[in-house]
Structure 1
């Protein structure tokens, strides 16, 4: 078997001091399934997922720095707006 090297996923940029605060809400059980479109690296204690469900987009945040882990979601918005929020999180413009 060949050495595949060190594989990592996307690492978001650290939030800037003027980063916009995202309102995070506890996850509620919903009948629609979420499809994960993108995600950050599993090596981090804070993992983000860009999700779509029921025609809406949102970001799911897994905080693994605490026990038990805390999972929260951004508000559900138009998919294009969730994609913009994803880019803000990845660029350190939102936290």
Structure 2
């Protein structure tokens, strides 16, 4: 089970590296900023976003892939 946090405005610019389809009620984005990575989750209906802890991009990428495979939430 992943821990989701309120968005931390830690960087002026965030690059979205990969994402899930926007047609789903909940979308996920693999993001990179300031040499680190995190996964952003957005509830499209409520317009609420959360993110994982910021970490090295390789770890964030593994987390994103686990989410896609249904191994993490």
Match of 2:48 among 48, 65, 70: 70
Per the alignment, in what secondary structure is the counterpart of residue 86 of structure 1?
Answer: helix
Q: Which runs of 4+ in 1 moved over 6 A?
A: none
8 A Cα contact 2:11 2:34, kept in partner = no
- The equivalent of 1:85 in structure 2 is 63
Per the alignment, in what secondary structure is the counterpart of residue 16 of structure 2?
Answer: strand
Structure 1: gaps (5+ residues) = 1-20
Indicate how the Cα distance of structure 1 residues 81 and 31 shifts in structure 2: closer, same or farther if over 3 A, else same. Answer: closer
Where relative contact order (Cα < 8 A, 6+ residues apart) is larger, the structure is: 1
CA RMSD of aligned residues (A): 1.0
Q: Which structure: larger Rg?
A: 1
Bigger fraction of residues in strand: 2
- The equivalent of 2:26 in structure 1 is 46
